[in-house]
A = this chain, B = another copy of it.
Amino acid sequence: MIETQGLGKIYGRGLYALRGLNLTIDKGEFVFLTGPSGAGKSTLLRLLLLQETPTEGEVIVAGRNLSRLSRHEVQAYRRTVGFVFQDFKLIPTKTVFENVSFALRVLGTAVEQQRRRTYQVLKWVGLQHRLNSFPEELSGGEQQRVAIARALVNEPQLVLADEPTGNLDPDLSLEIMNLFREINAGGTTVVVATHDRELIKWVGRRVVQLEHGQLAGLAEAPK
């Protein structure tokens, strides 16, 4: 599903945020991405979404080289990816419902189905009672769950989640992970960047560890 070859990223100031990364993630895999602060986890995920362009190397997702996509193909590609941003990136001028249903709207889904599916996903994350709130009226954890709902609403082939439980209590975190596992069981590839060792232990999947922008260790977690 995902293959990176010698992937590197240098931001303006000249330091490698990511360097010579060769990584393969199979279709239907559930992978944790971990490593200290500033290791390059978010950078890797951003490159997978094409939010940033690589400085060197290639990213191949579902057999297609991301750097060769046209603008329209990029849009179409992003619509098949569910992304939970580390800073949520909710649209402040839209309500919870609008923020989530927007991802369906751009797919041209019928209005009635938009409504139904949005409600369903918000129920999964326990926010069905906050449909008409604006993001700034939510607690940190509630905002994070809206971001998760938006990533899952259009049944993506690939879910990329950047620290999706940083603002959630342990019980909720496990619930969210169960949600990810269910989606993963349906064939969706899931990549989760997290610092939460408990969570990684509990879910028990493959862990990719980054350090200073490079792979630090590849460990097959116990099944």
Residues of A within 8 A of B (CB): 11-13, 34-38, 42-43, 86-87, 133, 137, 139-142, 145, 162-163, 166-173, 195, 197-198
- Find the residue from A36, A167, A173, A195 having the highest chain B CB count within 10 A: A195
6 pairs, A vs B, C-beta closer than 8 Å:
A13-B133, A13-B137, A37-B139, A37-B169, A168-B195, A198-B198
| Contact partner, A166, options B137, B145, B167, Cβ 8 Å | B167
Give complex CA distance A201, B36 in Å.
21
Shortest beta-carbon distance, A120 to chain B, in Å? 20
Answer whether A37 and B198 are a contact pair too, CB < 8 Å, given A139-B42, A163-B140: no
- Measured between beta carbons, the chain B residues less than 8 angstroms from A12 are 137
CA distance A139 to B45 in the complex (A): 12
Decide if A172 touches B36 in the complex (CB within 8 Å).
yes
* Residue contact B87 to A169, C-beta cutoff 8 Å: no
B38 with A142: CB separation less than 8 A:
yes
B170 touches A197 (CB 8 A): yes
Shortest beta-carbon distance from A134 to chain B in Å = 10
- Tell me whether A167 and B139 are in contact (CB under 8 A): no
Most chain B beta-carbon contacts within 10 A, residue among A34, A87, A173: A87
- Contact in complex: A169, B35 (CB < 8 Å): yes
Hey, which chain B residues are within 8 Å of A145, CB to CB? 37
Q: Is B172 within 8 A of A140, CB to CB?
A: no
Smallest CB gap from A171: residue in B: B36
| A163 / chain B contacts, CB cutoff of 8 Å | 140, 166-167
